[in-house]
Amino acid sequence: MARKAIFITGGGSGIGRATARHFAAQGWFVGIADIHAQGIDETAALLPEGASSRHVMDVRDRDQWKTALDAFAAESGGRLDVLFNNAGIGTGGQFIDIPPEETDRLIAINLGGVVNGIHMALPLLRATPGSAILNTGSASGFYGVAGLAVYSATKFAVRGLTEGLEIEFAKYGIKVRSLMPGFIDTPLLDQVSADSNEPARNRLSASGYEIVPVERVAEAAWDAVHGDRVHVTVGKMAKRLARLSRWFPGLVAKQSKKIDGLG
């Protein structure tokens, strides 16, 4: 039997890179997909020889998806055990300050890219017994975050898509899962919002918010595709927000105001 295989978008850095390393360490074949060729090469260099394939692609383009998945299948023996829709951008700031073109890009990548991936990968997933789809969501998919309103909206949408397809795809034997992390230790936290000269990382730390290492997210990704929970929270903040948004939404609104503008 061919070794199990995972295709990871956004695999050139952050969560994608950490997940590629974690799955490769378990003997899996890893398709590394990203819009940045250098990031792909850097991730591949961290994996065992012969454990990966490289795919430069834009998740907004379905033709590029087809080309990448065809090439991946040729190297994985036709298997796709996990599609990890991880690629995303984290544009933040006050809604009034963000150009409409940037909100279009945010929606096209964070939601459209996920939808495209599922459409294009479904034949391979259906042909692989016990396969799974894993989507990167966010704790902001539990309750909208000021300063991240459109980003939150895309993660709400990913959450809803995950829940709906988990039901629809059960008849095909395909699991559908999402990761719901809080603030993750990636370069996104080094961005400076329009209303501050200080990186988000510094403001979060000063406010006492937990910043979760990417390795913990990679471990959660492994648990998600092997477990029964549809949504897997990562980090204390995400777990707390999931509970509060369900039972005490008013408290979540107050907390959100504290991080307004973190972007």
217-255 pLDDT, tens digit each: 999 999 999 999 999 988 666 566 655 555 445 554 555
User: What average pLDDT is seen over the chain?
Assistant: 85
Say what the pTM is.
0.87
What is the chain's Cα-based Rg? 18
For residues 11 and 35, the answer to whether their CB atoms sit within 8 Å is no
Q: Where exactly are the structural domains of the chain? A: 5-258
What distances in angstroms separate CA 28 from CA 80, 91, 222, one per listed residue?
11, 32, 11
For residues 215 and 18, the answer to whether their CB atoms sit within 8 Å is yes
Identify the sign of the CA torsion 150, 108, 228, 3: negative
**What is the bridge-based pairing of β-strands 183-184 and 175-181?**
unpaired
- Domain 5-258 is classified in which CATH homologous superfamily? NAD(P)-binding Rossmann-like Domain (3.40.50.720)
Q: What is the pLDDT of residue 213?
A: 79
Q: What is the pLDDT of residue 141?
A: 77
User: Which residue would you say has higher pLDDT here, 260 or 5?
Assistant: 5
The pLDDT of 9-20, averaged and rounded, is 96
CA atoms within 13 A on the CB side of 195: 14
165-183 pLDDT, tens digit per residue, is 999 999 999 999 999 987 6
Q: Is 25 helix (H, G, I), strand (E, B) or coil?
A: helix
The pLDDT of 17-25, averaged and rounded, is 98
The pLDDT of 100-127, averaged and rounded, is 98
Report whether pLDDT(81) > 60: yes
Is 143 tagged catalytic? no
Element (H, E) at 185: none
Paired tokens of 233: 């929270």
The position carrying tokens 């819009």 is 35
Q: Which one of 143, 151, 172, 209 is the catalytic residue?
A: 151
Report whether pLDDT(258) > 70: no
